[in-house]
Structure 1
Amino acid sequence: MSGAPTAGERIAEHVVSVDPADTTAETVHAVARAFLDTFAVAVAATGDPVDVALTGYVAGSTGPASVWAGTGSLPPEHAALVNGAVGHVLDYDDVTSPLRGHPSIALLPALVAAAEAGGADGRRLSAAYAVGFEVICKLSKACALDHYARGWHSTSTIGLLGATAAVAHLTGLGRDAVRDALGLAVAQAAGTRQNFGTMAKSFQAGSCGAAALRSVALAGAGMTASAEALDGGTGGFLRLYSTPEAAAALDAELATLGQGPGELVTSGIDVKKYPLCYATHRTIDLLLDLRAEHGLTLADVDRVEMRANRGGLAPLLHDRPTTGLEAKFSMQFAVAAALLDGEVKLRSFDDEQVRRPEIQGFLPRVTPTEDDGPPFPRFAEVTLHLADGRTVGRRTHALRGSADTPLSDDELLEKVADCLGRGGLGERVKPFADAVFGWADRPVRSVLARRLS
């Protein structure tokens, strides 16, 4: 190749230029929070049908990487597949706005498996996470809005590219091999929003981490790929999965790669308060507030109108859900459950809870619509038409748990305790959290061992 460096080459240069010794205490703490949240959500899914199916699939294989929702260990690729899928099935894992998806479930299953296999400590893992997060956000800002609108599951496509960069950094891959690993990742990037509300959605997330490890291993073994796999004009990722303009947009984003405080600070991580699609969360916040302020019950409400920004309802495919998985992608269910129960918890998504007559009967009374204005800033607006003829309503841009209004460490640990308790590890919350928050200079494998000891 001659001329200007390709997007893959520019990203590879960034990956190899980051020095883990420069990782700040704030970054280490932020990644520790992300890991605690992601790990706990996986443990909460112990015994889920996705867990059972994948555990059976990898039965008989052993290796150095921990199974989060269990006690076994697996080869890194298998561990990333299982932990990534099980950690995503509850749809309770964190998100970041540029991606329109879930960064930590894309990054951490692969990174933790690689760290356990290679003996890396929490500081090195945190540096690699920040590298991967940076790549995810830069790619997302260039193409995710259109990419997602076309039906791609950005967690498992763009997330795979970020995870590949992260694992490449953690394992010390050379510059040319990083470029090739990104090309090999493009060869495997897949996942569709049509699978939302099914087990396949979480499988897509798990496959992301496994493919990242595979891409890095193969590139390290000498397998090559096109240097233009990301931004080439003949089937490059951006042109194929987004628009022709995305390559120029990425060029502008990569001009700031490695500059300033970084995307982990500027875009940040949103921690979910409710275990369902993030597109419902502003609405749930509003409904719980209105319910409490006006002393309302579901019986007091005749119908609900809900409005969101353009594209704000895109992930919500199920108007009349009958299973817990479908209900996680239903605005109608989110509204009905919040008004009926005054909460939206893990237990809300047991199939029998979704099928309650009060819930099913109210679903047709919820009318979600999208605004025809710009997609940003994101908002939710609800209007409750009450049985006595009154209307009450509210609009918000704010989102509890977002990077702008983050949960405190104590609030995060309340969620972690709830999740670990559901998975049978409730008594391990404090010692495990202490170990994770202190993991900077400790091998990740020794920290993982604290979950059981």
Structure 2
Amino acid sequence: MTPSERIGAFSAAFNPEVLTPALRQACARSLLDTYAVGVAGKNEPASSRAMAYLATLGTGDEASLWGCPGRATAEAAAFYNGVAAHVLDYDDVTSPLRGHPSVVLWPALIALAEAESAGMGRLQSAYAVGFEVMCKLAKAVAVDAYAKGWHVTASIGIIGTVAACSHLLRLDAEKTAHAVGMAVAQAAGTRANFGSDAKSFQAGHANAAAIRAARLAQAGFTSSPDAMDAQQGYAALYGQGQDLSAALATLGQTPLELISSGLEVKKYPLCYATHRVLDGLLDLRAEHGIALADVERVEIETSPGALVPLIHHRPATGLQGKFSLEYAVAAALLDGHVGLAAFTDESVQRPAIQAFLPFVQGRSTQGDSILPRWALVRLYTRDGQCIERKVDALRGSAVLPLTDDELMAKATDCYGWVGLQADAGAQLAIASDPKARIEDFLSIARWKNRIEI
């Protein structure tokens, strides 16, 4: 079988009954986190612009726009919700992908589930299918694709998402394989767009394009069965011509990737490459009572490749600040925490912050593997001290996950950021129940203060 056919066979044959309570809970946690972060992003400029674009497409009533009045077609809703859920860079990650799986799965799946009246159980199995395909493919090509400059959240994510959408639609193996080929035709996204609206556009596009591909395949559209592994195919263009059939041969073997690779939930709303640094830095600040004015300079050392996404060394905007090691360090030292309010343009442009940026230095060690990941933080104080902290296990990671209470607190904070109230505990319970409906989950949020886009 070709890689497209392997993905098609796996998606079509996947039995939702294999989902254990632990797997269903993992799905539920990721759903709550992604939705809450998407709602929190609704008033960001990129989300507003995406909403204005939707107005040019005409009306639709298939799916919800998260946290907003009105509805849209499934494809349009998936695009908008994908933009809003990624613009804050607060959505979850998984290490094999070097990117964000849930933000290119849930917007498409929820929109399609609303349009097709699919239950929560089918949503959970579709998410597991998509995550499985995404991680297997990522293990083969993500490092090379990232090095080439691809935004792998979108360029790899779309392949997993089209498999998930095909599963939700109950497409057979042949049609799913055709859908994969049409996802390849639309796979895109560059790291050069990090720090701009286009980064979140790339996530939104992956969601919309996956629905488009699956629905076209459902209607009989065809693609090349060799789209993934031909000489001019996906593996050659996005990787180094790896043998994808070998990488995909273990699809569905237990434990599933959702358990073995797991999800890493963000504690801070900026690029994940800063998070170990922030854990260590904030611990040192609290333990030693140190503030920005006490620090002469900061040196950061990390595992190989850890700092690659952090391309903005002198950020001037909130979006650029999300991809700046220097800003993350300066803001943490000045404020004592790093939250949503740190990523306005005004926050990034504070004189004390800008003056300190040249005194933050970061470097990654040399090596062939990005694993294991670690960060070493050294603070040099103005009174001559050098204090340091090495961070291996990251809070929120698969090995040190947030508790349900911590996750619900994050969701509640996200809702409050835009004037919404919602019972995050009730949402988590609904998202865990395979007999529930996605409409029950979505209907819980209610307005405290109407905030129009």
Normalising by structure 1, we get a TM-score of: 0.96
2:237 is equivalent to residue 243 of structure 1: no
**Matched AA of 1:347:** A
Deviation of 1:309 after TM superposition, in Å, equals 1.6
2:271 is equivalent to residue 273 of structure 1: no
**Rounded Cα–Cα distance in structure 1 between residues aligned with 2:157 and 2:379:** 38
Deviation of 1:387 after TM superposition, in Å, equals 0.7
Give the counterpart of 1:92 among 73, 90, 93: 90
Give the counterpart of 1:65 among 58, 63, 66: 63
Tell me the equivalent position of 1:417. 412
Tell me the equivalent position of 2:450. none
| More moved, 327-336 vs 65-74 | 65-74
What are the within-5 Å matches in structure 2 for residues 374-453 of structure 1? 374=368, 375-437=370-432, 439-452=433-446
**Matched AA of 2:11:** V
Deviation of 1:317 after TM superposition, in Å, equals 0.7
**Rounded Cα–Cα distance in structure 1 between residues aligned with 2:333 and 2:386:** 15
Q: For 1:67-98, what per-residue CA distance to the aligned partner results, in whole angstroms no more than 9, with x for missing partners?
A: 10302111000000000001100000000000
Deviation of 1:428 after TM superposition, in Å, equals 4.2
**Rounded Cα–Cα distance in structure 1 between residues aligned with 2:4 and 2:19:** 24
2:45 is equivalent to residue 49 of structure 1: yes
Instruction: Say if 1:23 and 1:123, in contact at 8 Å, map to a contact too.
Output: no
Tell me the equivalent position of 1:259. 253
Coordinate RMSD, CA, aligned: 1.3
Deviation of 1:343 after TM superposition, in Å, equals 0.3
Give the counterpart of 1:25 among 7, 21, 24: 21
Instruction: Say if 1:304 and 1:382, in contact at 8 Å, map to a contact too.
Output: yes
| More moved, 12-21 vs 142-151 | 12-21
Deviation of 1:28 after TM superposition, in Å, equals 1.7
Normalising by structure 2, we get a TM-score of: 0.96
Tell me the equivalent position of 1:290. 284
**Rounded Cα–Cα distance in structure 1 between residues aligned with 2:18 and 2:141:** 30
2:288 is equivalent to residue 301 of structure 1: no
**Rounded Cα–Cα distance in structure 1 between residues aligned with 2:359 and 2:96:** 32
**Rounded Cα–Cα distance in structure 1 between residues aligned with 2:367 and 2:191:** 23
**Rounded Cα–Cα distance in structure 1 between residues aligned with 2:84 and 2:319:** 13
Deviation of 1:65 after TM superposition, in Å, equals 0.6
Deviation of 1:353 after TM superposition, in Å, equals 0.9
Deviation of 1:222 after TM superposition, in Å, equals 1.2
Deviation of 1:175 after TM superposition, in Å, equals 0.9
Instruction: Say if 1:304 and 1:385, in contact at 8 Å, map to a contact too.
Output: yes
**Rounded Cα–Cα distance in structure 2 between residues aligned with 1:430 and 1:98:** 29
Give the counterpart of 1:6 among 2, 8, 17: 2
Identity of aligned residues (%): 51
Deviation of 1:319 after TM superposition, in Å, equals 0.1
**Rounded Cα–Cα distance in structure 1 between residues aligned with 2:197 and 2:301:** 28
Give the counterpart of 2:148 among 129, 137, 150: 150
Give the counterpart of 1:38 among 14, 29, 34: 34
Tell me the equivalent position of 2:451. none
Instruction: Say if 1:186 and 1:230, in contact at 8 Å, map to a contact too.
Output: yes
Deviation of 1:19 after TM superposition, in Å, equals 1.6
**Rounded Cα–Cα distance in structure 1 between residues aligned with 2:51 and 2:59:** 10
**Rounded Cα–Cα distance in structure 2 between residues aligned with 1:432 and 1:399:** 26
Q: For 1:37-94, what per-residue CA distance to the aligned partner results, in whole angstroms no more than 9, with x for missing partners?
A: 0111111112211121111111242222111030211100000000000110000000
Tell me the equivalent position of 1:77. 75
Deviation of 1:214 after TM superposition, in Å, equals 0.2
Structure 1's unaligned 5+ residue stretches are none
2:135 is equivalent to residue 137 of structure 1: yes
